[in-house]
Amino acid sequence: MTVPTLTLNNGVEIPQLGFGVFQVPPQDTKGVVLEAFEVGYRHIDTAQMYGNEAGVGAALAESGLSRDDVFVTTKLNNGFLEHDAALDAVKRSLDALGTDHVDLLLIHWPLPTVADYVARWRTLEQVYADGGARAIGVSNFQPAHLHRLRDETTVTPAVNQIEVHPYLRNDEARAAGQELGIVTEAWSPIAQGKVLDDPVLLRIAESVGRTPAQVTLRWHVQRGDVVFPKSVTRSRMEENFALFDFELSATDMADIGALDRHERTGPDPDVFDYVPAT
């Protein structure tokens, strides 16, 4: 199955479907990512916060895949608020991943009540200028945060990685991204499994002969977002990868969109202030 790519605002191509490794235990990560590569995934979404970049790096090294064939994203952890500390943290990520550049580097959380995200964005701009990342972006940024970056900095984020699933369409943040030429990446795309028993998704899944997870992921794809479902279960990795040989009708798309309850599974970016010790 061929995974389509989207073109980011600096011309870099990103596979629209990837594999997320949040909550994959560090000691299992190499094996899980190698399995994901076997299934066909070529886009891995990790983070300093997940503690498993070294496992991703070990899988990259052992896979025999060319570095250019895999799109790797990592994220600057919340504790690195100062320029030099953030640069050092990025260097450690590159070492752990066994590469001299990532394809995409994100600010993980804006932390608007803790520190100035504009300063962290300038650090990412430097990493980008120095070749440590082919593209830079943000995660969990609200429209006002994106507008501040537009007004006060030089490089437009390539992506905004935000929580999106049928119970949280997150229309405002997606629309701000569209206005500014920023691709939306939908995290927790199946709401960590919470949407899978929904009667509407069950009905549509039955009608198209697919599973509720496939229908949900296909909904994201048809909306034009990037997704990277996580699973440590081989059969689910395969299920989540099989999205490009069926289509949802306009009515199915609208019915899924109507499930929005503004219900987050994760923290609210306007107030999230978790800063780990570094």
Ligand X SMILES: O=C(O)C(=O)[C@@H](O)[C@H](O)C(=O)CO
Ligand Y SMILES: NC(=O)C1=CN([C@@H]2O[C@H](COP(=O)(O)OP(=O)(O)OC[C@H]3O[C@@H](n4cnc5c(N)ncnc54)[C@H](OP(=O)(O)O)[C@@H]3O)[C@@H](O)[C@H]2O)C=CC1
- Residues near ligand X (CB under 6 A): 22, 47, 49, 108, 266-267
Check residue 231 for interaction with ligand Y (CB under 6 A): yes
Binding site residues for substrate, as ranges? 108
Active site residue 128: no
Summarize the annotated binding site as residue ranges.
108
Binding residue for ligand Y, selected from 34, 196, 208, 242, defined by CB under 6 A: 196
The active-site residue, picked from 50, 117, 128, 167, is 50
**If contact means CB under 5 to 8 A according to the sort of partner, which of ligand X, ligand Y, none does residue 267 touch?**
ligand X
The span of 88-96, 166-174, 186-194, 197-205 binding ligand Y (CB under 6 A) equals: 186-194
212 versus 269: smaller Cβ distance to ligand X: 269
The three-state DSSP-derived secondary structure of the chain is: CCCCEEECCCCCEEECECEECCCCCHHHHHHHHHHHHHHCCCEEECCHHHCCHHHHHHHHHHHCCCHHHCEEEEEECCCCCCHHHHHHHHHHHHHHHCCCCECEEEECCCCCCCCCHHHHHHHHHHHHHCCCECCEEEECCCHHHHHHHHHHCCCCCCEEEEECECCECCHHHHHHHHHHCCEEEEECCCHHHCCCCCHHHHHHHHHHCCCHHHHHHHHHHHHCCEECCCCCCHHHHHHHHCCCCCCCCHHHHHHHHCCCCCCCCCCCCCCCCCCCCC
Contacts with ligand Y, residue ranges (CB under 6 A): 20-22, 45, 139-140, 161, 187-193, 196, 213, 228-233, 236, 239-240, 266
Catalytic machinery residues: 50
